[in-house]
Amino acid sequence: MTQARRPAPIPAPVRRRDRHGRGLRGPLLPPFLPAWRTRAERFDEVVVQAAGDLARRLPQVADMQFAVEEVPPSDPAPWEGGVVLGRGFAAEARAGLPARIVVYRRPVAGRAHTEAELGELVRRVIVEQVALLLGRRPEEIDPDLA
């Protein structure tokens, strides 16, 4: 007796999200709309804009680095009361590091209720840190703060 060969199994059709012949679904928002960016990316843009505005007025600010971190470290300095919104780090000539200013996103964004308040608060934090690093009063750095 000869053995009958079984036919090869037919693969199941691949299911796609093309329901009812309407085509593949795309993103809800196109990339050129402002809502495409995350809150963190929008916050970064606010910091870059505030630092750029300040650098156009003061040439010393152009040499500083600006960074954004989510939250401050859990060990605040003894003179820092409450939650820290930003920190300035002096330049280290031996290590070749320029002066740096760090803005903490979550504490700053939590205090602002609108986009305008957020921009104003970021500007204040940056001006205060620049003033500390340069040894001047914040009103000298940005007269609009007075």
Contact 133, 99 (CB under 8 A): yes
In DSSP terms, 104 is beta-bridged to: 69
pLDDT at residue 16 greater than cutoff 60: no
pLDDT above 80 for 27: no
User: Which amino acid is present at 44?
Assistant: D
* pLDDT at 45 exceeding the cut of 90: yes
CA 114, 109, 130, 65 torsion-angle sign: negative
**Whole-prediction pTM:** 0.74
User: Cα-flanking dihedrals φ and ψ of residue 13, to 5°?
Assistant: -65, 145
Higher pLDDT among residues 85 and 73, named by residue: 85
Cα separation, 18 vs 20, whole angstroms? 6
pLDDT tens track for 111-141: 999 999 999 999 999 999 999 999 999 999 9
30 pLDDT above the threshold of 80: no
Q: Which pLDDT value is given to residue 127?
A: 96
Work out the number of other CB atoms within 10 angstroms of the CB of residue 102: 20
CB 61 within 8 A of CB 55: yes
Three-state secondary structure string covering the chain = CCCCCCCCCCCCCCCCCCHHHCCCCCCCCCCCCHHHCCHHHHHHHHHHHHHHHHHHHCHHHHHCEEEEECCCCCCCCCCCCCCCCEEEECCECCCCECCEEEEEHHHHHHHCCCHHHHHHHHHHHHHHHHHHHHCCCHHHHCHHHC
